[in-house]
Structure 1
């Protein structure tokens, strides 16, 4: 049998399970988590007692109340769930090699030694389940997937919920997942599914049997070849991005060193960086600003956000950080400044936002506007449309 190299753990109804762990009165009852304490909006999570009535992530509150009379709604407490996430991670890391915390409720482990066999891997998962139940709470359960690579392990982890354990490898592929739809697979967005349909790939079995070189053409990227090779069982590590970020920095010429003029240069740098981000089909989840002064001091701050490629949104973050810089009074002359977009990933991999609502890999309204601006500027000349007032600063002063 092909050795197992990865275990992927997916916490079951994590948000609701945390609430049930903390409040015994909620145990055994249908619970739904909402973004705010409100009678409107949608559920962002549901307990398995609620799921038995058809309540799912994304179900509107009014529909959930109709489907499940007596359902209990609770407002989301993200910081609390993060604390439990870290508690679970601490347990896993003491029993196995925790390589990635993939999200607030998903963990990836590297397998070695006896754990690369099916029997050994199953024994390890049983040990982890017992440890999490004992040290974090018995309501905190997870489904586990085993595979020769990250992708197959993640797919396997979704096959038997809750509290299950499944494995995928060339020994049982593609028959074991033949019942899945293309967009059941992680990374297959609605747009990618349509692209596969146009290429004559209509089901998971056909995708698994696809020539990886053909997949590269369909994806228009090497990521397609990597994806299919992993479905076929190859041990190819997933690379979230091919670069760490997008940014620009400037040593300012004398006429731009006044803080207000430096701020306008910063706006120009943001426009340049975000245009490159969109050109490569990527989004960024963190924005940083660095400002250096003649006195030798440097001020640097960053802020995390929903992964986006919207120029107007990053300009608002840029303005907010400059406001923070000015909070204690006007700064002195600026010698250099830089902006950076980091925590970068492909737009095609971005998860949806139930509260927006936004489908996976779908562009927001602001992003669509940004793309239209790029197209107009490409046709009629750079800077034909700008996002308000900025100060272009080309020349040898550029460091980024």
Structure 2
């Protein structure tokens, strides 16, 4: 979907639907005993586990995303830790999108718990956007889950609609229009605006722009100079109703797969290798389905003592095979250990393992050298995932994936969900 447009539009016809405490609410939806209780969704529920999604009740008690579980329990002793159920969240996400598509064709999922509904072409059908928003809320409660709540922002463009959705939580409904935008911005700081973190805020302040109102009224030329890119012009368009620049589905620039490691997993080197191999196969799956090969590979390990191992390399022949990615990373780890005479990099102090791929090339443009033709391997991967897409995940697996140890827990994040809609309803991203 690409509904970006460069024309003035001042009517609030874009809705941003933000599900409140989505993962925790899904758990409470399926387990009535959890309703009304402070809940913390965690990858692992050991004392050093990390809270990835507190419920509305837990947030009211001061529990925040990213807290260590033992710290959260000290703050909220009756907190209920719950392990993640990715398939459950995906199922609810798909139900949510299906409900939104009953109101308009122009629905753009932005993450597992957010979506844009563009009603700009539906103004005759929907004279009141607030009425539509209330109907969407009711439809979600009726057809997705009666314990699920959302905040909806309404504005002339997607950015302002997202901003509006953050202003009243939970279960909010807020409109930003030319009539009230200055009043809204006057109450905010730069980092309250979606997309402005401390680095961008510092850059703007160094250019003499200290508040959202000053950002709104700065000239496009000044903003381009301060931001040192076309991003400055985009900020002018967003805050002055000059066009839509956030309604396009972005192509992949980078893919990452990251896992936090539990205390039990750290005790087994074989399990740590299984995690690394699983991450590489996750990236393989995404590249196969997007028909991409990577030309740059990254790997990193974080440790509990604060240290970090990082590696990055450019490959001469584009890669897609997950086992090849895994073998390459392991070989470079071995070389590092020998060169520096250090202990194994995958050890009992590991806190997190990550793999990333970038610099993509379309599959039909990959050329192998004279003595290495991997077309049969490429065809095998395509066939493997085609069968799994049709008959369900893990219908076929490689022999290298069959291990006696405890399987690695599947995770799901809040980020891109392109694969979820481009490929199949159950696909993880």
TM-score tier, shorter chain, comes to 0.5 to 0.7
Q: Where do 1:165-204 residues align within 5 Å?
A: 165-204=173-212
Q: How does 1:1-400 map to 2 (within 5 A)?
A: 2-112=10-120, 115=123, 120-238=128-246, 288=287, 312=312, 318=319, 320-321=321-322, 323=324, 333-334=371-372
- Cα distance in 1 between the residues matched to 2:372 and 2:173: 58
Deviating beyond 4 angstroms after TM superposition, the runs of 4 or more aligned structure 1 residues are 113-119, 239-246, 284-287, 300-303, 306-311
8 Å CA contact retained: 2:48, 2:69: yes
Aligned 8 A contact 2:44 2:50 in 1: no
Q: Which has the higher contact order (CA 8 A, sep 6+)?
A: 2
CA gap of 1:287–1:75, structure 2 versus 1, over 3 A, is closer
* Secondary structure of residue in 2 paired with 1:7: strand
Normalization by structure 2: what TM-score?
A: 0.59
Deviations 1:334-387 (A, max 9, x none): 4588x9xxxxxxxxxxxxxxxxxxxx9xxxxxxxxxxxxxxxxxxxxxxxxxxx
Question: Whole-Å Cα distance in 2 between the matches of residues 239 and 120 of structure 1?
Answer: 22
* 3-state SS of 2:49 partner: coil
1:285–1:308 contact (8 Å) kept in structure 2: no
**Alpha-carbon distance in 1 for matches of 2:42, 2:19:** 18
Cα-to-partner distance string for 1:83-115 (whole Å, 9 max, x where unaligned): 111111011111233431000000100114665
Shift of residue 242 of structure 1? 8.5
Q: Give the SS at the match of 2:15.
A: strand
Give the Cα separation in 2 of the matches to 1:287 and 1:22: 30
Q: Which runs of 5+ in 2 are unaligned?
A: 1-8, 255-282, 301-309, 328-369, 379-414, 416-429
User: How many angstroms does 1:147 deviate by?
Assistant: 0.7
Q: Which moved more, 1:224-233 or 1:123-132?
A: 224-233
Aligned partner of 1:257 in structure 2 is none
Q: Per the alignment, in what secondary structure is the counterpart of residue 170 of structure 1?
A: coil
CA distance in 2, matches of 1:175, 1:285: 48
Deviation at 1:224, TM superposition (A): 1.4
- The question of whether the paired residues in 2 share the 8 Å contact of 1:115 and 1:124 is answered with no
CA distance in structure 2 between the aligned counterparts of 1:98 and 1:285, rounded to whole angstroms: 31
SS of residue paired to 1:216: helix
Q: Secondary structure at the match of 1:95?
A: coil
What secondary structure is seen at the aligned counterpart in 1 of 2:213? helix
Q: Structure 1: where are the runs of 5+ without partners?
A: 247-283, 291-299, 327-331, 340-359, 361-400
State the Cα distance separating 1:209 from its structure 2 match: 1.3
Equivalent position of 1:263 in the other structure? none
1:37 CA displacement: 2.6
Name 2:261's counterpart in structure 1. Answer: none
Alpha-carbon offset, residue 238 of structure 1: 2.1
Q: Is 2:13–2:129's contact at 8 Å kept on the other side of the alignment?
A: no
* 3-state SS of paired residue (1:153): helix
Q: Which stretch of structure 1 is more off in the superposition, 79-88 or 11-20?
A: 79-88
CA distance in 1, matches of 2:144, 2:288: 38
CA distance, structure 1, for counterparts of residue 252 and residue 30 of structure 2: 39
- Kept in 1, the 8 Å contact 2:97–2:107? The answer is no
Could you tell me which residue of structure 2 aligns to residue 347 of structure 1?
Answer: none
Paired residues of 1:4 and 1:115 also in contact (CA < 8 A): no
Tell me the TM-score normalized by structure 1: 0.63
Distance in 2 (CA, whole Å) between partners of 1:122 and 1:177 is: 21
- How far apart are residue 173 of structure 1 and its match? 1.4
Structure 1 residue 311 displacement after superposition: 7.2
With over 3 angstroms needed to count, the CA separation of the structure-2 counterparts of 1:244 and 1:205, relative to structure 1, is same
CA RMSD of aligned residues (A): 4.0
Once the two structures are TM-superposed, the CA of residue 33 in structure 1 deviates from its matched residue by 0.9
